Structure 1
Amino acid sequence: MAELTRMTATEIAALIASGEASAVEVTRAHLDRIAAVDDRVHAFLHVDADGALEAARAVDAKRAAGAELGPLAGVPVAVKDVLTTKGVPTTVGSKILEGWRPPYDSTIVRRLRAAGTVMLGKTNMDEFAMGSSTEYSAYGPTGNPWDLGRIPGGSGGGSAAALAAYEAPLAIGSDTGGSIRQPGAVTGTVGAKPTYGGTSRYGLVAFSSSLDTPGPCARNVLDAALLHEAIGGHDPRDSTSIPAPVPDVVAAARAGASGDLTGVKLGLVTEFSGEGAEPGVVAAFRDAVDALTKLGAEVVEVSCPHFQYALPAYYLIAPSECSSNLARFDGVRFGLRVGDDGNRGLEEVMSLTRDAGFGPEVKRRIMLGTYALSSGYYDAYYGQAQKVRTLITRDFTAAFEQADVLISPTTPFVAFPFGSRTSDPYQMYLADLFTIPTNLYGGPGISVPCGLSDGLPVGLQIMAPTMADDRMYRVGAALESVIGTLTAPEL
């Protein structure tokens, strides 16, 4: 049943609940699709076929026993390889964790299992989530299903590519500076970053602890909302988890699908209204804004003057936190160990292990962060960056006094060819120019397809106040109701 791979998660769940299709049939269809195309796409680092079929059989048995199924029961999901999965390899795209099989599940994975979803496997990513193209994976790049010679975004390019290639109807990503939203934009899929603390970081291999946010990826807004509902909520294992219920994102997505935005104020961020973006991206974005106004929304211009400093502030804060977090990968406690022949001291083994296990981008960021935190430079770099973060938060607060949500392009350009930006880190970092402020603020953001530029997808970003995730789903679903979803060319 090849058509099963083209269905939405909502449609698949309905088929399984009614008995028109079994969870095993659905799972086999997606495993067959992966077998047929992933040698070219390389969205997956590990496919857990046996585990997926076992989970699917459990769903079918539950339905046969007359038990009520959840809204995503039996629906396959792909998981970014940054989340621990018990007994299943978790590499974080790095050689330093090659072959590591965690002894526990992350909270996100536990909630996916509790919801009855079927985990297909782990998706490719930039090493330790440090990148915007998935070219920095230690296991090779992932192709964009719209053009396999182009990047699928990063760091979660594998999850987005799996959706666009119809290898999975749902996926999980993590967003530290745009790593869910930017891949969503360039692959024509939906990627949502929840409010920081709205989804648990327990079992998420840390890059930047004050920024990392796991979240849902899908091919449409309602499916993303359903996945968000399944994985969100307070977790006592995560000290940064917000002790509050998930906003009713599913109801908001359903309301938005009616296409009525009467009374909704959209804040057009003047600093991100298109300056520095490709002309085709600007054109698609402006057309989408026009479409939203025809649905009854009012557009007001808002200025966020400190957003222009978000990129340099981020590249001091995130590397500083990564230099601390990655110190645990020392060749002693777990993972790769190099040079332990009995003739070398501990420090030399650590040095050899890190040299062999970390890739060039990870090393670059560790060095940046270590320097920014070093004695005599802490206040000048890390301390100043945190002050900028406060100013950006104030910009958001002031803007939300004028508008319900803020909108901008998701990324300044469409998917670029492999190798075109790897020689210039700054040009690579610009991919996250429009997404980083939301991470520094801690609020939610979503990327929804808004058109094409030169035949490649463009995304519109919707940013909402903290714990007002439902607002972005309402606006996103409304935009989707007039623009529709995008379909990549057949592979």
Structure 2
Amino acid sequence: MSDLTMMTMEQISSMVEKGAVSPVELVEACLKRIEALNPELNAYVYLAAEEARISARKAEEEIKSGCYRGKLHGIPIALKDLYYTEGIPTTGSSEVLRNFVPEYDATITKRLKDAGAILMGKTNTHEFAFGPTTEETCFGPTKNPWNPAKIPGGSSGGSGVAAATGMAYVAMGTDTGGSIRIPAAMCGTVGFKPSVGLASLYGIIALSFNLDHPGPLCRSVADAAITMDAITGTDPLDPCPYAVAGEPTHFYEGLAGAEDLKGKVIGVPANFFFDKTDYEVERVTREAIDRLKELGAEIREITIPAIDLVTDASTCIMFSEAAYLHRDRYPAMKEKYQAGVAARLDQGGAFTAVQYIQSLRERDVIMEEWEKALQEVDAVVAPTCPIEAFDRGLTPPWNIVTRGQIEPGKPMCTYHTRLADMTGAPALSLPVGLTKNKLPVGLMIMGRRGDDLGVLRIGSVYEKHYTYPALEF
């Protein structure tokens, strides 16, 4: 299979700009990769092959004529099956919307197209993004490329697999309880959840309007920065209550010159984050933390406040808002929903107004306490997930063993990631090693709300000095 497909977008875009490789070649290489791998892994649920070929020829002509739009120009990308795409199905990977074809693009879809990106198709998601395994979907489960018997994480599992395997250079996801970072960790990619409100939610099928965050899965921190620069900036249509107004970001430019971590203070949690972390995951994580120290960072143990509020409060907010957002279809169309998703919607509908408001108040406390905790450190690092990818097909309560104890697998997926959705803070997952079972481990870097560049710079320094685990085909 072509090595072109496994290069980073930063690398390949320079070749495109110089004419060393054409968008047409990239699209054909990705299509060959998809043809070879997708029947087994099920990352894509809709392939826009002919549309991509047309866009590639147009991009090639534009670039040859001197109309180069930037580093996304001529680059094959994918979108989670939540992003509205004009004329292309957007189903939430659900029978409920099986035949839905939007009449307009999501803001992010449009901005990526305007930047010259080439849409290869739509990727599988846990139905309506309401689950962490990408098993409950009308298109069938997505499989982990490191071991197809394992889950890829979710809900952006198809995007994680597409980015990890060279089926796209960037695959957009969404993150409400960890749905970008979990598949990034389990599939061995970079996954970035930006600060709340930084990228528009307009035209993305919602799960929770208070907790949803769109962001990229890709093969380098630089690629994440390039993507964010293309999709940020004021959107008057953004329904996010915390929408950020202002000019587009310049994160990629801001990564320049970041060569070490001297002067940086990085916090390592003394509470919660290692309590249930599998020993192998902890080993790989601690090794990565030692590398941060070698790069010049001061490592300081800190206590994360209000962490005990996160699980219950985020469940109430997420499930209640999901029940509200599906009120016109559920329970009237209950038979079309996946059983587990239906059960979560039932749970969401059972929360009272008092419980919901109390959870929102608790979120305010969590946000405030997080900012206080970050006053003396530049970032906090922890395992993205406390566990490695577990077997597909487990039944409730999805029992797994971690740290010698039996735990429910699905809740363990989001055990560490929910905090950043509740705080609205930026969080980056980097692939930093493999367990003894040859499964990837992600290191999560979290910062102050609005300090997205600071988080990306730490990740960028790490990847300049240490290579990521590589998939072998």
Shorter-chain TM band? over 0.9
Aligned: 1:414 with 2:388: yes
Cα distance, 1:187 vs structure 2: 0.8
Equivalent residue number for residue 224 of structure 1: 224
3-state SS of paired residue (2:173)? strand
Does the 8 Å CA contact 1:266/1:300 hold for their aligned counterparts?
yes
Equivalent residue number for residue 371 of structure 2: 397
Does the 8 Å CA contact 2:209/2:239 hold for their aligned counterparts?
no
Separation in 2, partners of 1:288, 1:255 = 22
Cα deviation 1:268-302 (Å, max 9, x = unaligned): 12224411010011111111111101111111222
Q: 1:485 to 1:170 in 2, by over 3 A?
A: same
Separation in 2, partners of 1:142, 1:48 = 19
Does the 8 Å CA contact 2:6/2:165 hold for their aligned counterparts?
no
Note the 1:48-447 alignment, pairs <5 A: 48-240=48-240, 241-256=243-258, 258=259, 260-329=260-329, 351=332, 354-373=333-352, 378-379=353-354, 381-420=355-394, 422-424=396-398, 426-447=408-429
Separation in 1, partners of 2:166, 2:469 = 12
Cα distance, 1:424 vs structure 2: 4.1
Cα deviation 1:204-234 (Å, max 9, x = unaligned): 1011011111101101111111111111222
Q: More deviation in 451-460 or 479-488?
A: 479-488
Equivalent residue number for residue 402 of structure 2: none
Q: More deviation in 124-133 or 225-234?
A: 225-234
Report the aligned-residue RMSD.
1.6
3-state SS of paired residue (1:321)? helix
Separation in 2, partners of 1:246, 1:217 = 19
Does the 8 Å CA contact 2:77/2:117 hold for their aligned counterparts?
yes
Cα deviation 1:311-331 (Å, max 9, x = unaligned): 12111110000011112336x
Separation in 2, partners of 1:291, 1:252 = 22
Cα distance, 1:32 vs structure 2: 1.2
TM-score, normalising length: structure 1: 0.91
Separation in 2, partners of 1:314, 1:421 = 24
Separation in 1, partners of 2:106, 2:201 = 8
Separation in 2, partners of 1:412, 1:17 = 41
Q: Output the amino acid matched with 2:359.
A: A
Does the 8 Å CA contact 1:254/1:477 hold for their aligned counterparts?
no
Aligned: 1:471 with 2:454: yes
Q: Output the amino acid matched with 1:362.
A: V
Percent identity over the alignment?
A: 35
Does the 8 Å CA contact 1:272/1:409 hold for their aligned counterparts?
no
Cα deviation 1:142-197 (Å, max 9, x = unaligned): 11110011111000000000111221111100001100011100111000001111
3-state SS of paired residue (2:326)? helix
More helix by share: 1
Equivalent residue number for residue 40 of structure 1: 40
Separation in 2, partners of 1:255, 1:189 = 23
Equivalent residue number for residue 449 of structure 1: 431
Separation in 2, partners of 1:424, 1:100 = 32
Give the greater-gyration-radius structure (CA): 1
Does the 8 Å CA contact 1:252/1:471 hold for their aligned counterparts?
no
Q: 1:138 to 1:422 in 2, by over 3 A?
A: farther
Separation in 2, partners of 1:387, 1:424 = 31
3-state SS of paired residue (1:394)? helix
Q: More deviation in 424-433 or 74-83?
A: 424-433
Separation in 1, partners of 2:297, 2:163 = 30
Separation in 1, partners of 2:357, 2:66 = 58
Separation in 1, partners of 2:239, 2:128 = 22
Separation in 1, partners of 2:232, 2:136 = 29
Q: Output the amino acid matched with 1:169.
A: Y
Separation in 2, partners of 1:56, 1:303 = 50
Separation in 2, partners of 1:42, 1:474 = 33
Q: More deviation in 207-216 or 270-279?
A: 270-279
Cα distance, 1:481 vs structure 2: 2.3
Does the 8 Å CA contact 1:88/1:102 hold for their aligned counterparts?
yes
Separation in 2, partners of 1:233, 1:119 = 21
Cα deviation 1:10-53 (Å, max 9, x = unaligned): 12211221111211111011011101111001000000001111
Does the 8 Å CA contact 2:319/2:345 hold for their aligned counterparts?
yes
Separation in 1, partners of 2:396, 2:464 = 37
Separation in 2, partners of 1:364, 1:472 = 36
Cα deviation 1:256-279 (Å, max 9, x = unaligned): 3x2x10111111122244110100
Q: Output the amino acid matched with 1:404.
A: D
3-state SS of paired residue (2:340)? helix
Cα distance, 1:489 vs structure 2: 2.5
3-state SS of paired residue (2:429)? strand
Q: Output the amino acid matched with 1:452.
A: L
Paired positions, count = 462
Cα distance, 1:356 vs structure 2: 2.2
Separation in 2, partners of 1:140, 1:464 = 36
Cα distance, 1:247 vs structure 2: 4.3
Cα distance, 1:413 vs structure 2: 0.5
Separation in 2, partners of 1:103, 1:46 = 17
Q: Output the amino acid matched with 1:101.
A: V
Separation in 2, partners of 1:148, 1:68 = 39
Q: 1:415 to 1:321 in 2, by over 3 A?
A: same
Separation in 2, partners of 1:247, 1:111 = 13
Q: 1:422 to 1:172 in 2, by over 3 A?
A: farther
Equivalent residue number for residue 403 of structure 2: none
Equivalent residue number for residue 405 of structure 2: none
Cα distance, 1:72 vs structure 2: 1.4
Cα distance, 1:117 vs structure 2: 0.6
Q: Output the amino acid matched with 2:412.
A: L
Does the 8 Å CA contact 2:313/2:359 hold for their aligned counterparts?
yes
3-state SS of paired residue (2:209)? coil
Does the 8 Å CA contact 2:305/2:370 hold for their aligned counterparts?
no
